[in-house]
Structure 1
Amino acid sequence: MSREHEWVDEEAGPVVRPYAVARGRTRPTSSALDLLATVVATGSPAPANAELSAQHRRVLSFLSGRATPVAELASEVGLPVGVVRVLLGDLLEHGLVSVRQQTDKAATPTESLLREVINGLRAL
């Protein structure tokens, strides 16, 4: 059995806790990895000293050829945002991803819009 499938149960899905995926870390190594930051794979080969888990490789394979916001990436790979931010921090340290901050302030939702969304969700 390959190491990649070691922590997967076909019926239950992943059976390892998120903190184990992030090796007990709760914060990324870079403050640039906020929810709206866009991440893209650089295409560089992994350094020999990089210890990349199956989850690191999964994130990289999803990013291959496309720029994706951190929050969307977390949804796509099925991991909590905090875990994805830690994994991205590792990949960023190894030069395997680059981060682009959102520069268009007009695209940032206003506080009133966010309040309307919260109220709408509560009404459900």
Structure 2
Amino acid sequence: MGRRAGPERRPEGRDNSWLDADAGRLVRPYTVSGGRTRPSVALELLSMVRATGRALKVDLTPEHTLALDISRSPVTVAEIGAHLKLPVAVAKILLSDLIDQGAVTARPPDPAADPADRDILQRVLDGLHKRLRQ
């Protein structure tokens, strides 16, 4: 799939080479994660994360900020990945950064819950659909 021929639309004086009219934002996941491939904290798809409300002394990337905003109420790692429109592996890295800074806490899924349980999977799917429609 190539880019469509034709002039690019750019506001005067701005370099928007990282934007594509058809594809949107062209930032690779490894760029968002700073080149890292593993989170510093073990997280599962169904781990619940929640913002602590702690003030941070570091500047956050837009992706970190959005993940933190989504975490204002309890949410699964899978939902955050879907909302960020990033691979879950990248979402885990961003969330582990926030956990390391004390901005977010994580709780593993209930060990009694079977991750292959159809009801659980349906609730996760419903939550993802709800987030994506917002």
Task: Give TM-score, length-normalised by structure 2.
Answer: 0.68
Give ranges in structure 2 of 5+ residues lacking alignment.
Answer: 1-15, 122-134
Give ranges in structure 1 of 5+ residues lacking alignment.
Answer: 115-124
Aligned equivalents of 2:33 and 2:93: distance in 1?
6
Aligned equivalents of 1:44 and 1:7: distance in 2?
33
Q: Output one character per residue of 1:24-51: Cα deviation in whole Å (capped at 9) or x when no partner.
A: 00100012x111111111111112xx24
Structure showing greater relative contact order (alpha-carbon pairs closer than 8 Å, 6 or more residues apart): 1
TM superposition shift of 1:16: 0.8
Displaced runs of 4 or more, over 4 A? 5-11
Matching residue of 1:46 = 56
Larger radius of gyration: 2
CA 1:105/1:76 → structure 2, altered by over 3 Å: closer, same or farther? same
TM superposition shift of 1:9: 4.7
Matching residue of 1:79 = 86
The yes-or-no answer on 1:67 pairing with 2:74 is yes
TM superposition shift of 1:106: 3.5
Higher alpha-carbon deviation: 70-79 or 101-110: 101-110
TM superposition shift of 1:61: 1.3
More helix by share: 1
